[in-house]
Chains A and B, each alone.
Chain A
């Protein structure tokens, strides 16, 4: 059974940093692109970042480019999101999501974690 378990969320001050983790199990982690998607309170889903199966290619939404860094450790089956210089508008539930197709581009997210809440506030 595919499982994605996010952790690392919490309260952080504006300008601060936070690292989210997503522990994956139940599938060959190193064969699939992975993604972060967020949902701000009362808002819709917003794609944040994606990373290819081997980690060579990373992609970011304009809203986080230059501030967030996605990475993965295929030996630990774990996905990360390093969040630096956070802003109030980064407050959201953050979900990690698995790509549907093996060795595919990050396009169809077939499994999602339950999310971890990040609150940016002083």
Chain B
């Protein structure tokens, strides 16, 4: 089974930087592109990063994505209280013809 694993929670102070990891259960992540989403309860999820490291229009450059081997990372700099949300990585697995989301990471800005 294809699984994306994220830490359940991360925290940092306002103005600081935080990273959220997303690791894959097998080597597929090396071939699949990763996207990242921000989800505040009661609102629609928002696409932050696609194709591992690209930002859609309107997403500030405080958000960045990277991938190395079987692990992808979302970075957020200049943390703001408004960044408190759940963050999900996701991908489309071509061999399974299925989309997969990570379990989500709750970001707390202390």
Answer whether A and B are interacting partners.
yes
A interface with B by C-beta (< 8 Å): 35, 37, 44-47, 50, 59-62, 95, 97, 100, 105-115
Q: Which of B33-55 contact A (CB under 8 A)?
A: 33, 35, 37, 39, 43-47, 50-51
**Among A46, A47, A95, which residue has the most Cβ atoms of chain B within 10 A?**
A47
The 6 A-B pairs of least Cβ separation, nearest first, read A107-B92, A112-B44, A47-B99, A44-B104, A108-B50, A45-B101
- 30 pairs across A/B with beta carbons < 8 Å? A35-B99, A37-B101, A44-B86, A44-B101, A44-B103, A45-B39, A47-B99, A47-B100, A50-B99, A59-B98, A97-B45, A100-B50, A100-B56, A105-B92, A105-B94, A106-B92, A106-B99, A107-B35, A107-B50, A107-B91, A107-B99, A108-B35, A108-B51, A109-B45, A109-B47, A110-B50, A111-B44, A112-B44, A113-B44, A114-B43
Question: Closest B-chain residue to A44, C-beta based?
Answer: B104
* A112 and B50 contacting across the interface, CB-CB below 8 Å: no
Q: What interface size band does chain B fall in?
A: 20 to 34
Measured between beta carbons, the chain A residues less than 8 angstroms from B45 are 37, 45, 95, 97, 109, 112
Question: Closest A-chain residue to B46, C-beta based?
Answer: A112
Question: Closest B-chain residue to A114, C-beta based?
Answer: B44
Question: Secondary structure at chain A's binding surface: helix, strand, loop or mixed?
Answer: strand
Q: Verify if B63 is at the interface (C-beta below 8 Å from A).
A: no
Q: Which of B72-108 contact A (CB under 8 A)?
A: 86, 88, 90-92, 94, 97-104
Measured between beta carbons, the chain A residues less than 8 angstroms from B103 are 44
Q: How far is the CB of B44 from chain A (nearest CB, A)?
A: 4
Contacting B37 at CB < 8 Å: which of A45, A46, A106, A107? A45
* B92 and A109 contacting across the interface, CB-CB below 8 Å: no
Cα-based distance from A45 to B6 in the complex (angstroms):
13
* A47 and B101 contacting across the interface, CB-CB below 8 Å: yes
* B44 and A115 contacting across the interface, CB-CB below 8 Å: yes
Question: Closest A-chain residue to B49, C-beta based?
Answer: A108
Cα-based distance from A108 to B90 in the complex (angstroms):
8
Cα-based distance from A47 to B88 in the complex (angstroms):
12
